[in-house]
A and B are shown apart, each in its own frame.
Chain A
Amino acid sequence: MSIQESYLEAGPGSRLFSWIFSTDHKRIGLLYLMVIMSLFFAGVALGFLMRLELISRGPTIMEAQTYNSLFTLHGVIMIFLFIIPVTTSVFGNFMLPIMIGARDVAFPRLNLLSWWIFVAGAALALATLALGPADTGWTFYAPYSLRTGQYVSLAVFAVFVLGLSSILTGINMITTVHRLRAPGMTWHRLPLFVWAVYATAWILVIATPILGVNLLMVMAERFFHIGVFDPALGGDPILYQHLFWIYSHPAVYVMILPSLGVIAEIIPVFSRKIIFGYKAVAYSSIGIAAVGSLVWGHHMFVSGYSYTAGVIFSLFTFLVAIPSAVKVYNFVGTMYRGSIVVDTPFYFVLAFIYMFAIGGLTGVILGALSINIHLHDTYFVVAHFHYIKFGAAALGFFAALHYWFPKVFGRMYNRGFANLSLLVFFIGFNLLFMPMFVLGYEGMPRRYFDYLPQYASLQVLSVVGSWVLVLGLVMMFGNLIKGLLSGKPAPQNPWGAATLEWQIPSPPPRENFREIPEVQHSPYHFENVRRELD
């Protein structure tokens, strides 16, 4: 099917309105893509400036107050406006209905509303940039967040609004998977990406409201002094931390699960082999969501809470590594004795496994109480979470972009250049973040505007890494945009995959399927599908 007859073609009336008021899950996915990628690059710019400031000691290009605001906004944008929503709202929206054989999600109008709420939240967050950004860090800890004169209430309200968007998306995804599966699409024939998004949606529904009310209470504290978190009024700021992390820890699984799902889709296709241990991988998504809801206290080991709680949370933190490890073993087990096709998405997979291993293992390290005392709030933590959130989760999203690009846009990008951009990104990323493990181990605290002389050389190395990383990102997205504008038309099934989205044209028609398919078997059998790229 040509691009003219697909979902990309504008309906009657204004082109813009037919997109921003569309209830088509594919268009909504792209609307999310456009907004989120713009915000991502804003966040990258902030990070770039932060790094630049740290190229030398003392104020270099900004004062301390500005630096505090930058890392706060960098965190808010990257976490709430990029990595939490991106894979679920872009590819969950676009691909999930097609992968289960449906024409759309369960509540298409609610889906559009979710996007509009997201845009509103983004606008509010960016407004604080202009008015007086919060300087509390993206974690908004009490009591400082109750006292500081900046626009904290506006910032937390923006996050509250974004939470609403998350919740509605979660409700939509859960209902869609339960109600709209095609005939024959049993739970155990669902693609693993669907399992991943399903587990993610449950976390969104259960955990987000707790953050929402926590932030409302911060606002009530700031405006009305209700006293629950304010020690001057008899309140307990550690309770703020509990409520904050009860959401924010499961949130990191929201960030990584969909990416793990993407990787689980790509590996079988490029190994020409069924996934090793389908049920284990599927249920490990649920397991990660469940056990991951019990570990939040590992962010609070040195907060002053009870030692008993610390021991319990440390134990659960070790336990949650198990389902994650199951996935990695099964990924590698799939590749073993497979017929590997080395192509762009597969390179992303290799990079992902490396990043996920480092990020995950350093997380386990941080989960040990005695070690945490030395590493808490140091650069070690910064390195850990960037490896897992940026190196793994975001890379999973980039992998999804490179895997599903031909399906979404009906064009191919330059794969050689994409591979090169990944390499540059990979080198830059490691130069930027690997030294931070050492810096943290040697005692450099995070969120510090200045540093002692002994940290200088590694800081400079890290800054240079940031430049290489940005170059890699520019190359990667420049390449994709070029492919979008002038890439060769893509075949229906370039990679030879077996999931339902590859059985419809690239790009998909408006209603996805001419007829709802009748599903006969699980999605990782490659005997009858051929790779259609050279």
Chain B
Amino acid sequence: MRESEEKHYIARYTTLVVVWVALIVLTWLTVRVSGLGFGTLSILAPFLIASVKAFLVVDYFMHLKYERPFFKWILLVVLGMVVVVAWLVYEDVAYR
């Protein structure tokens, strides 16, 4: 089970820089949209953009896009857990 000769993904410098540019642009965008939407929904747009940024970092800087499926599955489990826990806590807080 031990592979000393594994093929490792090596990220291209250009790819990394392109992703970085996207991240900077998205950051600027986050600031721009933060005024939109009213009340508590105003968190939604920046949060969604933040998630896009996070996924760019995970996929390209952390190479998840090129990893074996196992890593993607455990990320899914983690995100699922987060969603379910938040949902259950909100079931309390929203209806008190």
Contact = CB atoms under 8 A, between A and B. Distances in A.
Given A178-B70, A293-B81, A309 B1 contact: no
Given A294-B84, A308-B91, A312-B91, 8 more contacts: A178-B70, A238-B92, A239-B89, A242-B89, A293-B81, A293-B85, A306-B94, A308-B94
Contacts of A306: 91-96
A246 interface: yes
A312 B78 contact: no
A406 interface: no
A181 B2 CA distance: 10
Interface in A286-302: 293-294, 296-297
B88 to A, nearest CB: 7
4 interchain residue pairs of minimum CB distance: A306-B95, A309-B92, A305-B92, A308-B95
Interface residues of B, number: 16
A312 B88 contact: yes
Counting chain A CB atoms within 10 Å of each CB, which of B2, B70, B81 scores highest? B81
24 contacts: A178-B70, A179-B1, A179-B2, A180-B1, A181-B1, A206-B81, A238-B92, A239-B89, A242-B92, A246-B85, A293-B85, A294-B84, A294-B88, A296-B88, A297-B88, A305-B96, A306-B91, A306-B93, A306-B94, A308-B91, A308-B92, A308-B94, A309-B92, A309-B95
Nearest to A174: B74
Contacts of B94: 306, 308
A307 B81 contact: no
Contacts of A297: 88, 92
Interface in A235-257: 238-239, 242, 246
Interface string B59-96: 00000000000100000011001001100110111111
Contacts of B85: 246, 293
B7 to A, nearest CB: 17
A325 B32 CA distance: 55
B96 to A, nearest CB: 5
Interface string A508-530: 00000000000000000000000
Counting chain B CB atoms within 10 Å of each CB, which of A239, A304, A308 scores highest? A308
B86 to A, nearest CB: 11
A307 B88 contact: no
Contacts of A242: 89, 92
B70 A309 contact: no
A313 interface: yes
A242 B96 CA distance: 14
Counting chain A CB atoms within 10 Å of each CB, which of B2, B70, B85, B92 scores highest? B92
Contacts of A238: 92
B69 to A, nearest CB: 13
A242 B2 CA distance: 42
A183 B78 CA distance: 30
Interface in A144-187: 178-181, 183
Contacts of B92: 238, 242, 297, 305-306, 308-309
Contacts of A313: 88
A179 to B, nearest CB: 6
A306 B96 CA distance: 5
Nearest to B85: A246
Interface in A124-154: none
